[in-house]
Amino acid sequence: MTIDPNPPSKNSTLTSWNALEPIWQGGSDLVQTGLPHQQLAPAWQILLLGDGSPTRHLQLLTGEPTEVDVIDMSSIGMDNDNAPSSLQIVPGPRVRRQVWLRTASGQRLAYATSWWEARYVDEYLENKSLPIWASLAKLRTELYRDVQGIYYGESPALAEAFGEAGPFWGRHYVFWHRGEPLTLIYEVFSPYLQRYLGKV
């Protein structure tokens, strides 16, 4: 799937998002137990399987602020949008947001798609150019990050955008707030991060 840099805002069938074509994937059971270290190095497991903020982790790794390039904000109504099945617990109608996470100097580090209940987008993403973590931290929003799936797969579109060959590691999780699902997020990380985390 590819990203239209100038997507229409009304019809989700006219835009798409970058899901990995999985070579391998695992569910919440593997997220809880972790993977053998020969399959995924411990430092990468902390990034992918941990419940901390990836935006904050990226900033600590690179020593630069993590910035966001918003490339899509689309109203998708009740469409399942080919998203992970966890989308069904996020009430609709929904808005899909796609971003690049990058260093202040411009290096793309990750791609993320998130799905939000439309009525909460303006409340929780008041400044849409901020990373989600920064927006929610500003509001002092208490969250639980429920990592539910991990992926290892290919994406020609992401390979081109990152300037790095795949396969890529990704994950999806649900943010819970006050016992209710707030958003579903799907993230893919660039192999560029091996410069900081070591080999996958």
Q: Which of 115-124, 129-138, 188-197 has the lowest mean pLDDT?
A: 129-138
> Using an 8 Å Cβ cutoff, are 26 and 149 in contact?
yes
What integer pLDDT is reported at residue 180 of this predicted model? 84
Q: Which residue has the higher pLDDT, 8 or 103?
A: 103
Instruction: Please state the pTM of the whole predicted model.
Output: 0.84
> Using an 8 Å Cβ cutoff, are 169 and 151 in contact?
yes
Each residue's pLDDT tens digit, 159-187: 999 999 999 999 999 988 788 888 899 99
> Does 152 have pLDDT greater than 80?
yes
Each residue's pLDDT tens digit, 55-68: 889 999 999 999 98
In the structure encoding, which two tokens stand for residue 9, read together? 């805002």
Q: Which residue has the higher pLDDT, 135 or 14?
A: 135
Each residue's pLDDT tens digit, 120-129: 776 666 555 5
CATH code, 31-197: 3.40.1410.10
The mean pLDDT of the chain is 84
What integer pLDDT is reported at residue 184 of this predicted model? 94
> What does the alpha-carbon distance between residue 95 and residue 112 come to, in Å, rounded to a whole number?
14
What integer pLDDT is reported at residue 110 of this predicted model? 96
Task: Please spell the DSSP secondary structure of 40-53, one letter per residue.
Answer: S-HHHHHHHHSSS-
Q: Which residue has the higher pLDDT, 69 or 132?
A: 69
- Which of 75, 153, 174 minimizes the C-alpha distance to 121? 75
Share of the chain above pLDDT 70, in %: 82
Handedness of CA 186, 81, 159, 8 (dihedral sign): negative
Q: Backbone phi, then psi, for 111, in 5-degree steps? A: -120, 140
Q: Which residue has the higher pLDDT, 59 or 52?
A: 59
Identify the helix (H) or strand (E) that includes residue 77. Answer: strand 66-77
- The mean pLDDT value for 23-52 works out to 91
> Does 10 have pLDDT greater than 60?
no
